[in-house]
Structure 1
Amino acid sequence: MHGYSANRDAHLKRLRRIEGQVRGIARMVEDDQYCIDILTQVSAATKALQSVALNLLEEHLAGCVVEAAQQGGPEADAKVKEAADAIARLVRS
C-alpha cells in the first residue's frame, strides 16, 4: 500500500480539476485570448500541480520513508535517497 492510498480519491479529484484547467488553457490559446490571461491560468495550474506534488511527497515521507527507516538497512537508505531526489526535482521545477 502506498503512502497516498488513504487520500487517493482526493488526489484524483484534484488532478481531474487540474486537467480541466489545462483544457481551458488550450481553449484560450485556440480562441486567441490575451497572453497575460493565459499566463495567469498557466501559473494557477502550475501551483495546483505543485500542491498535489507536495501532498504526495508529504505522504511518501510519512508512510514509505518512515516505514523503511524503521526497518533499517539498505532499503531505508534507498528510500531516503529516493525522497531527496524527488525533493530536488520539485525544487528545480
Structure 2
Amino acid sequence: MELDKDEMKKVSNRLKRAQGQLAAVVRMVDEGGDCADLVMQLSAVSKALDRAGFAIIASGMKQCLTDDENGPADVQKLEKLFLSLT
C-alpha cells in the first residue's frame, strides 16, 4: 500500500518539527536546563510523534477502506498498528 503523498508531506513536516524540538531537549539536558522546562518540551515532542503516527495510520486506514484494487482491508493489522501508539 502506498500512502497519499500530500498527507505524508504534512507528516514529514511534523516529524521534522519534532526532530527540532528533540534537538532542543538534548541541548537543554547537556546544558543543565530547568527540569520543568525539560519535561514540558519532552512532552511536546512525544505528542508530536504520536500525532504523526496517528496521521500515518489514519491515511492508511482511509486508503485501505477505499481501495478496491487491493482487496479487503487488513483490519487486524491496522488495529495492531493503531494500538501500538497508545
Q: TM-score, normalised by structure 2?
A: 0.84
Do residues 46 (structure 1) and 46 (structure 2) align?
yes
Shift of 1:13: 1.4
Secondary structure of the residue aligned to 2:67 is helix
Between the aligned residues of both structures, percent identity stands at 25
Shift of 1:38: 0.2
Shift of 1:10: 1.6
Q: TM-score, normalised by structure 1?
A: 0.79
Q: What does residue 82 of structure 1 align with?
A: 77
Shift >6 Å, 4+ stretches: none
Question: Which consecutive unaligned segments of at least 5 residues does structure 2 have?
Answer: none
**Superposition pairs of residues 6-85 of structure 1, within 5 angstroms:** 6-67=6-67, 71-72=71-72, 76=73, 79-85=74-80
- Give the helix-richer structure, 1 or 2: 1
Considering only aligned residues, what root-mean-square deviation do their CA atoms show, in Å? 2.1
Shift of 1:65: 4.3
Write out per-residue CA displacement over residues 1-23 of structure 1, whole angstroms, 9 at most, x where no aligned residue: 62242322222111111100000
